[in-house]
Amino acid sequence: MEKKKTESADLGAACCCCRFFRYHLFPCDKSFWGHIKDPVFVLFTLVSLAPISGFCSLIFLFIFLIIDRGDEYQLLQFILQFKGTQFISHGVIRTLTGFFMYVGCVTAVAQSNHDCEQQGPGLAGSFEVIIGGWVVQIILVWWAFCLLPCSQDKGRSQLSGKLEFEQSSRMRRPGGWIMYLLVWDMLAFIGCTAGLIYVLIARAQALDQGYAKTYDDWAVKHAFYACQVVYGYLSMPFFFFTLPVLRNVLTHSVPTAYNRKGITCKITGPEKRGDRSKQELVTQQESNQILQDVKHLFWSGKAEGEGNPGNPEVPTA
């Protein structure tokens, strides 16, 4: 069974406005070290890990808008990368920052009257912006999950023939086993939201105020900060599946990336030095062969004319 030759038109039209970011963030011809040397990739990675309210969501919203949402692997990579980053930024980094904030507002002052109402975790920045960023990242991930059934595995080789099975539609589904992680993510979201609602109701009853006034209370903001940390740690299964071997087991999809024109294609990897040396050796051998042919023609003409081949009367120097 021969592979079907893929023409450039089959890969899709080149992206004009997004080709720069597509290639620099997900290049098809660079290794891990090539990614690190790219300042655009390093900048996006560091900003997405910054524990600033809304920054991570804005970065991945931009990535979601520029990627090829019709390719299965690109959607899977977006989901795993987003949730894996969430485990680090909202889980690990927020745990450390929240701990030192509590140390600063309780232990550092060493008094019975703490000032966590003004300097505790979750109080920096606008509370509406923090909630909006958290909701946006959940919507983006679930949106990518919803697009998976309509996506195509553009990196898989197509056969020139046609194979038919009785149950071909049930042999493989887009996304593979990752759909079970969607159920896990929904349960984690429901659990964290239920805990936040419980704190909101309890705080409203304790202060004898309405829910509209209580949501801006410092204790509710602390509880929401804790919900973000817990939800980040519950994203740990996605983080493990960002590893290449486990990712292939989970998704069963062929990796794709973008070329310099912003077109979705297979990952080719960097050009190997051995292949380059082999090509240079072949070129040198061809050049030597041409030089030998020219020398052979030159000396053959001199042997026949016993002088200059173009003018036999002129003696040879």
Residue 251 structural domain: 10-158+171-270
Please compute the mean of the pLDDT values over residues 44-60 and round it to a whole number.
Answer: 77
pLDDT, mean over the chain: 76
Question: How distant, in Å, are the alpha carbons of 69, 142, 286 from that of 289?
Answer: 51, 62, 5
Nearest Cα neighbor of 122 from 93, 91, 101 is 101
Q: Binning pLDDT at 50, 70 and 90, where does residue 7 land?
A: very low
Same domain, 201 and 306: no
- Residue with more model confidence, 194 or 284: 194
Q: What is the pLDDT of residue 230?
A: 93
Decide: 122 and 99 in contact? Cβ < 8 Å: no
Same domain, 87 and 217: yes
Q: What is the pLDDT of residue 272?
A: 63
157 has pLDDT over 70: no
Q: What is the pLDDT of residue 121?
A: 80
pTM score of the predicted model = 0.71
5 domain residue, yes or no: no
Return the amino acid letter for 32.
F
Q: What is the pLDDT of residue 188?
A: 92
Question: How distant, in Å, are the alpha carbons of 88, 103, 119, 153, 203 from that of 106?
Answer: 26, 5, 10, 54, 21
- Residue 216 has a CB neighbour count (10 Å cut-off) of 10
Which of 18-27, 73-82, 228-237, 280-289 has the weakest average pLDDT?
280-289
213-253 pLDDT tens trace: 777 788 888 888 899 899 999 999 888 888 777 777 777 77
2 domain residue, yes or no: no
163 domain residue, yes or no: no
- Domains contained in the chain, number: 2
Same domain, 60 and 16: yes
Same domain, 302 and 258: no
Return the amino acid letter for 306.
E
Same domain, 21 and 103: yes
4 domain residue, yes or no: no
Q: If you average pLDDT over each of 6-20, 162-176, 206-220, 270-284, which comes out highest?
A: 206-220
Q: If you average pLDDT over each of 37-41, 167-171, 272-276, which comes out highest?
A: 37-41
Same domain, 135 and 261: yes
Angle, CA 97 vertex, CA 243 and CA 193 arms, to 5°: 75
Same domain, 293 and 201: no
Q: Which of 231, 247, 270 is the last residue of a domain?
A: 270
Q: What is the pLDDT of residue 233?
A: 92
Same domain, 233 and 257: yes
Same domain, 64 and 206: yes
Please compute the mean of the pLDDT values over residues 293-312 and round it to a whole number.
Answer: 57
Q: Which two tokens stand for residue 275?
A: 């292949």
Same domain, 73 and 127: yes
Same domain, 210 and 290: no
164 domain residue, yes or no: no
Same domain, 208 and 294: no
133 domain residue, yes or no: yes
202 domain residue, yes or no: yes
34 domain residue, yes or no: yes
181-192 pLDDT tens trace: 888 999 999 999
Q: What is the pLDDT of residue 190?
A: 93
